[in-house]
Amino acid sequence: MQSKFFVKFLTISLLVFNLNLNAQNNEHEENKKGKDLKTEIKEDILHHIEDSHDFVFFSDSETNEHYGFSLPIILIDNGVQLFSSSKFNHGESIAENNGNYYKLYHNKIYKTNAEGAINLDDHHHPTNIKPLDLSITKNVLMIMVTSIMMLLLFVGLAKSFGKGPIATGAGRFFEPIVIYIRDDIAKINIGEKHYKKYMPYLLTVFFFVWFLNLFGLTPLGVNVTGNIAVTFALSILTFVITQVSGNKNYWKHIFWMPGIPWPMKIILAPIEFLGVFIKPFALMIRLYANIMAGHIVLYSIIGLIFVFKNWMGGGLTLFLAFFLSLIELLVAALQAYIFTMLSALYFGFAVEEHEHEEAH
């Protein structure tokens, strides 16, 4: 328990140091750039929650130095265009590759000319050609790291069972979680008859979301599950598995519910059909909104330390940020649990057998 508190205290300290460095430099350059401290803190928060084409740990705005590493850019534009994100110089330069010119505009890559011209329409949307972007961004990199970590962890857990009935190493911590997901989520919501074929997905999605949520609480500045594209992909997987698994009773209860007068069936059928799409949509928004809100609130509270500029306000906000970060540890596991629980519940609806109705 003490080690967890120490890790969280170290994380908050690094976050405060990062914002303190940016805040001091931004305040020094305030008159020069015409931006106040609150605007700079807001921009830092927005930069933290956005995906990017390079991995930056922290920046020094006074010297315009960025400390991190570049990531590969992969574009489909008259073939495959492959180059390093360092060519963009964090959005300040035009990248040239094989005679093509590209520019970062609002964190998206557009094709341009040697001068870097971005043409805007009446709604201030770029009209430049936007190549298909398959780049390894910061979020994609963290997804790959998490996937490799899960693979190594659970391959080791599976091998440890070959040596005896009790897991060894890190498996002793994760084995009770696996058993809990099997007994208290899968079996209860799906049923003894069908739960086994859904266990690989349920275990994968639980630990995938949980680990990414935990990474989001570190000073690495990643916000993978706060990216709606990621939560959309996860909800689509649940949606597809649910519909493919649906038996005749599942579809019958959607389009022609038994035991209900037929005029009510006509009214309820469209509502039930909309529910098929509303359920995965709720999964997507719930995970995205909770994680995104947590990041914004935590960074906003830390930013208040440099707005108050006194020991009382700074001390209170630092304590509040530390307390909130502990709550975020619970939220990280809770959101993974809720996503897994609701997925299992939807699978249970799809494979549920209504034998008593057939008998009637």
Could you give the percent of the chain with pLDDT greater than 90? Answer: 31
User: Torsion over CA of 211, 217, 221 and 224, rounded to 10 degrees?
Assistant: 40
DSSP codes joined into one string, 242-294: HHHH--HHHHHHHHS-TTS-HHHHHHHHHHHHHHHHHHHHHHHHHHHHHHHHH
More confident residue, 20 or 204: 204
pLDDT digits over 65-88, tens only?
Answer: 777 788 999 999 888 999 988 888
With bands split at pLDDT 50, 70 and 90, how would you rate the model's confidence at 60? Answer: low
The three-class DSSP label of residue 102 is: strand
pLDDT digits over 105-160, tens only?
Answer: 888 899 998 888 888 888 888 888 889 999 999 999 999 999 999 999 888 888 88
**The total number of residues written for the chain in this structure:** 360
Domain boundaries, the chain: 72-135, 140-359
pLDDT digits over 203-229, tens only?
Answer: 999 999 999 999 988 877 788 998 899
Q: For residue 158, which of 145, 146, 175, 144 has the smallest C-alpha distance?
A: 175
Q: How far apart are CA 305 and CA 24, in angstroms?
A: 12
Model pLDDT, residue 311: 67
More confident residue, 240 or 56: 240
Q: How far apart are CA 227 and CA 284, in angstroms?
A: 10
DSSP codes joined into one string, 314-345: HHHHHHHHHHHHHHHHHHHHHHHHHHHHHHHH
pLDDT at residue 313 is higher than 80: no
Model pLDDT, residue 128: 87
More confident residue, 160 or 21: 160
